[in-house]
Amino acid sequence: MENEQYVSIVRDKESIVVRGIEKRLKEEGYFIYMSGSSKSEIDGNVPRVSLFITYLPADIIDNVKEYNNFTYICSAVHDGGKRMIVIGEKKIHDDLLSGIPALKYHTWVDRPVDMDDLIQVMKKVIKEPLKTDTDFAEAAPFEESPVAASSKAEKNILIVDDDPSYAKMVREWLKDTYRVDIVTAGVQAITFLAKKKVDLILLDYEMPVVDGPQVLEMFRSEPNLKDIPVVFLTGVGDAERVKRVMSLKPQGYILKSATREDLLASMKKFLP
Protein backbone atom coordinates (compact mmCIF):
# COMPACT_ATOMS: atom_id res chain seq x y z
CA MET A 1 0.00 0.00 0.00
CA GLU A 2 1.83 3.08 -1.22
CA ASN A 3 0.58 5.49 1.45
CA GLU A 4 0.65 3.13 4.42
CA GLN A 5 2.90 5.53 6.37
CA TYR A 6 0.21 8.24 6.29
CA VAL A 7 -2.02 8.27 9.38
CA SER A 8 -4.84 10.55 10.49
CA ILE A 9 -5.34 11.02 14.24
CA VAL A 10 -8.92 12.09 14.90
CA ARG A 11 -9.73 13.94 18.10
CA ASP A 12 -12.02 16.81 19.07
CA LYS A 13 -10.10 17.83 22.17
CA GLU A 14 -6.41 18.33 22.81
CA SER A 15 -4.89 15.95 25.33
CA ILE A 16 -1.48 14.86 26.56
CA VAL A 17 -2.25 11.29 25.48
CA VAL A 18 -3.06 12.30 21.90
CA ARG A 19 0.07 14.42 21.68
CA GLY A 20 2.05 11.47 23.02
CA ILE A 21 0.61 9.24 20.30
CA GLU A 22 1.43 11.84 17.64
CA LYS A 23 5.02 12.21 18.88
CA ARG A 24 5.62 8.46 19.04
CA LEU A 25 4.20 7.82 15.56
CA LYS A 26 6.38 10.55 14.08
CA GLU A 27 9.39 8.93 15.75
CA GLU A 28 8.37 5.67 14.07
CA GLY A 29 8.41 7.37 10.66
CA TYR A 30 4.69 7.94 10.11
CA PHE A 31 3.32 11.11 8.50
CA ILE A 32 0.55 12.44 10.72
CA TYR A 33 -2.54 14.47 9.86
CA MET A 34 -4.23 15.80 13.02
CA SER A 35 -7.96 16.10 12.44
CA GLY A 36 -11.23 16.94 14.08
CA SER A 37 -14.26 14.69 13.61
CA SER A 38 -16.23 16.89 11.20
CA LYS A 39 -17.43 15.36 7.93
CA SER A 40 -15.34 17.73 5.81
CA GLU A 41 -12.11 16.85 7.64
CA ILE A 42 -12.78 13.12 7.46
CA ASP A 43 -13.73 13.25 3.78
CA GLY A 44 -10.58 15.24 3.06
CA ASN A 45 -8.33 12.67 4.72
CA VAL A 46 -9.88 9.45 3.39
CA PRO A 47 -8.13 9.65 -0.01
CA ARG A 48 -4.69 10.47 1.36
CA VAL A 49 -4.15 8.26 4.40
CA SER A 50 -4.01 4.52 4.96
CA LEU A 51 -5.11 4.42 8.58
CA PHE A 52 -7.27 6.47 10.91
CA ILE A 53 -6.75 6.48 14.68
CA THR A 54 -9.76 7.90 16.51
CA TYR A 55 -9.34 8.82 20.16
CA LEU A 56 -12.82 8.88 21.70
CA PRO A 57 -13.82 11.32 24.44
CA ALA A 58 -15.10 9.65 27.59
CA ASP A 59 -18.49 11.39 27.28
CA ILE A 60 -19.17 10.45 23.65
CA ILE A 61 -22.38 8.55 24.39
CA ASP A 62 -23.88 11.62 26.06
CA ASN A 63 -22.60 14.10 23.47
CA VAL A 64 -24.99 14.05 20.51
CA LYS A 65 -22.68 15.94 18.14
CA GLU A 66 -19.61 13.80 18.84
CA TYR A 67 -21.69 10.61 18.72
CA ASN A 68 -23.13 11.53 15.31
CA ASN A 69 -19.70 12.50 14.01
CA PHE A 70 -18.27 9.16 15.13
CA THR A 71 -21.15 7.33 13.45
CA TYR A 72 -20.24 9.07 10.21
CA ILE A 73 -16.52 8.33 10.64
CA CYS A 74 -17.11 4.58 11.08
CA SER A 75 -19.04 4.36 7.82
CA ALA A 76 -17.01 6.88 5.78
CA VAL A 77 -13.65 5.31 6.59
CA HIS A 78 -14.84 1.81 5.75
CA ASP A 79 -16.72 2.90 2.62
CA GLY A 80 -13.55 4.67 1.52
CA GLY A 81 -11.63 1.42 1.70
CA LYS A 82 -9.54 2.46 4.69
CA ARG A 83 -8.93 1.05 8.17
CA MET A 84 -9.37 2.55 11.61
CA ILE A 85 -8.21 1.91 15.15
CA VAL A 86 -10.61 3.24 17.78
CA ILE A 87 -9.20 4.03 21.23
CA GLY A 88 -11.84 4.27 23.94
CA GLU A 89 -13.06 3.23 27.36
CA LYS A 90 -13.80 -0.50 27.46
CA LYS A 91 -17.08 0.05 29.30
CA ILE A 92 -18.63 2.04 26.41
CA HIS A 93 -17.73 -0.40 23.61
CA ASP A 94 -20.92 -2.48 23.78
CA ASP A 95 -23.19 0.56 23.86
CA LEU A 96 -21.42 2.10 20.86
CA LEU A 97 -21.50 -1.14 18.89
CA SER A 98 -25.23 -1.60 19.48
CA GLY A 99 -25.92 1.86 18.07
CA ILE A 100 -23.19 2.03 15.41
CA PRO A 101 -23.02 -1.31 13.55
CA ALA A 102 -20.22 -0.03 11.28
CA LEU A 103 -17.92 -0.02 14.31
CA LYS A 104 -17.55 -3.78 13.82
CA TYR A 105 -15.38 -3.16 10.75
CA HIS A 106 -12.73 -1.43 12.82
CA THR A 107 -10.24 -2.40 15.51
CA TRP A 108 -10.95 -1.42 19.10
CA VAL A 109 -8.15 -0.69 21.61
CA ASP A 110 -8.97 -0.11 25.28
CA ARG A 111 -7.77 2.92 27.19
CA PRO A 112 -5.28 3.45 28.76
CA VAL A 113 -3.30 2.67 25.61
CA ASP A 114 0.22 1.24 25.64
CA MET A 115 2.32 2.91 22.94
CA ASP A 116 4.31 -0.21 22.07
CA ASP A 117 1.13 -2.25 21.76
CA LEU A 118 -0.47 0.44 19.61
CA ILE A 119 2.44 0.37 17.15
CA GLN A 120 2.14 -3.40 16.81
CA VAL A 121 -1.63 -3.21 16.31
CA MET A 122 -1.15 -0.52 13.65
CA LYS A 123 1.33 -2.60 11.67
CA LYS A 124 -1.05 -5.55 11.74
CA VAL A 125 -4.17 -3.56 10.83
CA ILE A 126 -2.49 -1.77 7.91
CA LYS A 127 -1.47 -5.10 6.36
CA GLU A 128 -4.66 -7.10 6.93
CA PRO A 129 -7.56 -7.23 4.43
CA LEU A 130 -10.40 -4.77 4.83
CA LYS A 131 -13.25 -6.33 6.81
CA THR A 132 -16.46 -6.94 4.88
CA ASP A 133 -19.98 -8.10 5.70
CA THR A 134 -18.92 -11.63 4.75
CA ASP A 135 -16.64 -11.71 7.78
CA PHE A 136 -19.68 -11.24 10.01
CA ALA A 137 -22.17 -13.34 8.06
CA GLU A 138 -22.51 -15.87 10.88
CA ALA A 139 -22.77 -13.24 13.58
CA ALA A 140 -26.03 -12.08 15.10
CA PRO A 141 -27.01 -8.42 14.55
CA PHE A 142 -24.83 -6.07 16.57
CA GLU A 143 -22.72 -8.95 17.84
CA GLU A 144 -19.40 -7.87 19.31
CA SER A 145 -16.49 -7.62 16.92
CA PRO A 146 -13.86 -10.39 17.17
CA VAL A 147 -11.41 -7.96 18.78
CA ALA A 148 -13.79 -6.94 21.54
CA ALA A 149 -15.06 -10.48 22.11
CA SER A 150 -11.59 -11.91 22.54
CA SER A 151 -10.65 -9.07 24.89
CA LYS A 152 -13.65 -9.79 27.08
CA ALA A 153 -12.73 -13.49 27.30
CA GLU A 154 -9.16 -12.87 28.37
CA LYS A 155 -7.88 -12.71 31.92
CA ASN A 156 -6.01 -9.58 32.94
CA ILE A 157 -2.44 -9.86 34.22
CA LEU A 158 -0.27 -7.10 35.69
CA ILE A 159 3.52 -7.52 35.56
CA VAL A 160 5.43 -5.57 38.22
CA ASP A 161 9.12 -5.66 37.30
CA ASP A 162 11.86 -3.03 37.21
CA ASP A 163 13.41 -4.72 34.16
CA PRO A 164 11.31 -3.47 31.20
CA SER A 165 13.07 -5.75 28.71
CA TYR A 166 12.17 -8.88 30.63
CA ALA A 167 8.64 -7.62 31.33
CA LYS A 168 8.04 -6.90 27.63
CA MET A 169 9.32 -10.36 26.70
CA VAL A 170 6.87 -11.95 29.14
CA ARG A 171 4.05 -9.80 27.78
CA GLU A 172 4.94 -10.91 24.26
CA TRP A 173 4.73 -14.54 25.37
CA LEU A 174 1.35 -14.08 27.08
CA LYS A 175 -0.45 -11.51 24.94
CA ASP A 176 -2.20 -14.01 22.65
CA THR A 177 -3.92 -15.58 25.65
CA TYR A 178 -4.14 -12.83 28.25
CA ARG A 179 -4.41 -9.06 28.48
CA VAL A 180 -1.11 -7.91 29.96
CA ASP A 181 -0.05 -4.58 31.46
CA ILE A 182 3.34 -3.57 32.84
CA VAL A 183 4.50 -1.25 35.63
CA THR A 184 8.07 -0.96 36.87
CA ALA A 185 7.59 -0.21 40.57
CA GLY A 186 5.35 -1.13 43.47
CA VAL A 187 3.95 2.39 43.91
CA GLN A 188 3.02 2.46 40.22
CA ALA A 189 1.22 -0.85 40.73
CA ILE A 190 -0.90 0.59 43.54
CA THR A 191 -1.88 3.55 41.35
CA PHE A 192 -2.62 1.28 38.38
CA LEU A 193 -4.76 -1.11 40.42
CA ALA A 194 -6.84 1.76 41.77
CA LYS A 195 -8.05 2.32 38.20
CA LYS A 196 -8.09 -1.14 36.67
CA LYS A 197 -8.92 -4.61 37.95
CA VAL A 198 -6.65 -7.57 37.23
CA ASP A 199 -6.96 -11.31 37.75
CA LEU A 200 -3.32 -12.00 38.61
CA ILE A 201 -0.13 -10.10 39.48
CA LEU A 202 3.30 -11.32 38.38
CA LEU A 203 5.62 -9.65 40.90
CA ASP A 204 9.41 -9.39 40.66
CA TYR A 205 10.95 -10.60 43.92
CA GLU A 206 14.06 -8.42 43.69
CA MET A 207 13.51 -4.73 42.94
CA PRO A 208 15.36 -1.61 44.14
CA VAL A 209 13.88 0.80 46.70
CA VAL A 210 10.76 -1.30 47.42
CA ASP A 211 11.28 -5.01 46.79
CA GLY A 212 8.73 -7.69 45.94
CA PRO A 213 7.96 -8.81 49.53
CA GLN A 214 7.33 -5.20 50.57
CA VAL A 215 5.08 -4.66 47.58
CA LEU A 216 3.14 -7.80 48.49
CA GLU A 217 2.67 -6.44 52.01
CA MET A 218 1.31 -3.24 50.48
CA PHE A 219 -1.19 -5.27 48.44
CA ARG A 220 -2.26 -7.30 51.48
CA SER A 221 -2.90 -4.13 53.49
CA GLU A 222 -5.34 -2.78 50.91
CA PRO A 223 -8.89 -4.23 51.22
CA ASN A 224 -9.49 -3.92 47.46
CA LEU A 225 -6.20 -5.62 46.55
CA LYS A 226 -5.58 -8.24 49.23
CA ASP A 227 -7.42 -11.03 47.41
CA ILE A 228 -5.71 -10.62 44.03
CA PRO A 229 -3.51 -13.68 43.37
CA VAL A 230 0.20 -12.83 43.38
CA VAL A 231 2.90 -14.98 41.77
CA PHE A 232 6.53 -14.09 42.36
CA LEU A 233 9.04 -13.87 39.54
CA THR A 234 12.49 -14.78 40.81
CA GLY A 235 15.87 -15.21 39.18
CA VAL A 236 17.23 -17.51 41.88
CA GLY A 237 16.02 -21.08 42.30
CA ASP A 238 18.02 -22.42 45.26
CA ALA A 239 16.11 -24.17 48.03
CA GLU A 240 16.63 -21.45 50.63
CA ARG A 241 15.43 -18.68 48.35
CA VAL A 242 12.37 -20.67 47.27
CA LYS A 243 11.56 -21.36 50.91
CA ARG A 244 11.84 -17.65 51.73
CA VAL A 245 9.62 -16.75 48.76
CA MET A 246 6.91 -19.22 49.70
CA SER A 247 6.94 -18.16 53.36
CA LEU A 248 5.20 -14.98 52.21
CA LYS A 249 2.30 -17.14 51.01
CA PRO A 250 1.94 -15.98 47.42
CA GLN A 251 -0.04 -18.17 45.01
CA GLY A 252 3.28 -19.48 43.72
CA TYR A 253 6.53 -18.52 42.05
CA ILE A 254 8.03 -18.72 38.57
CA LEU A 255 11.72 -18.76 37.80
CA LYS A 256 12.82 -16.07 35.35
CA SER A 257 14.71 -18.75 33.48
CA ALA A 258 11.39 -20.41 32.57
CA THR A 259 10.71 -20.94 28.88
CA ARG A 260 7.64 -19.60 27.10
CA GLU A 261 6.04 -23.04 27.26
CA ASP A 262 6.77 -23.34 31.00
CA LEU A 263 5.33 -19.89 31.66
CA LEU A 264 2.12 -20.58 29.73
CA ALA A 265 1.72 -23.90 31.56
CA SER A 266 2.11 -22.10 34.89
CA MET A 267 -0.47 -19.49 33.89
CA LYS A 268 -2.99 -22.23 33.13
CA LYS A 269 -2.44 -23.53 36.64
CA PHE A 270 -2.80 -20.14 38.31
CA LEU A 271 -5.59 -18.91 36.00
CA PRO A 272 -7.62 -22.01 35.09
Residues 185-207 pLDDT 10s? 887 788 788 878 899 999 988 87
Q: Give the amino acid at 6.
A: Y
pLDDT at 208 (0 to 100): 74
Tell me if 176 is assigned to some domain. Answer: yes
How many other C-beta atoms can be found within 10 angstroms of the C-beta atom of residue 36?
12
Question: Mean of the pLDDT values across residues 239-250?
Answer: 69
Tell me if 1 is assigned to some domain. Answer: no
Q: Given a cut of 70, is residue 227 above it in pLDDT?
A: yes
User: Do 54 and 73 touch, CB atoms closer than 8 A?
Assistant: yes
Angle at alpha carbon of residue 210, lines to 246 and 265, rounded to 5°: 40
Question: Mean of the pLDDT values across residues 171-182?
Answer: 89
Q: Which domain holds residue 254?
A: 154-270
For residue 240, what pLDDT band results from cuts at 50, 70 and 90? Answer: low
Please state the pTM of the whole predicted model.
0.51
Q: Given a cut of 90, is residue 83 above it in pLDDT?
A: yes
Q: How far does CA 66 lie from the centroid of its chain?
A: 24
Domain boundary residue among 151, 179, 206? Answer: 151
pLDDT at 199 (0 to 100): 93
Does residue 124 sit in the same domain as residue 163?
no
Does residue 16 sit in the same domain as residue 132?
yes
pLDDT digits (tens, 9 = 90+) for 117-153: 999 999 999 888 888 777 655 443 433 334 444 444 4
Does residue 158 sit in the same domain as residue 264?
yes
pLDDT at 146 (0 to 100): 43
pLDDT digits (tens, 9 = 90+) for 158-169: 999 888 888 889
| Distance in Å from the first CA to the final CA of the chain | 42
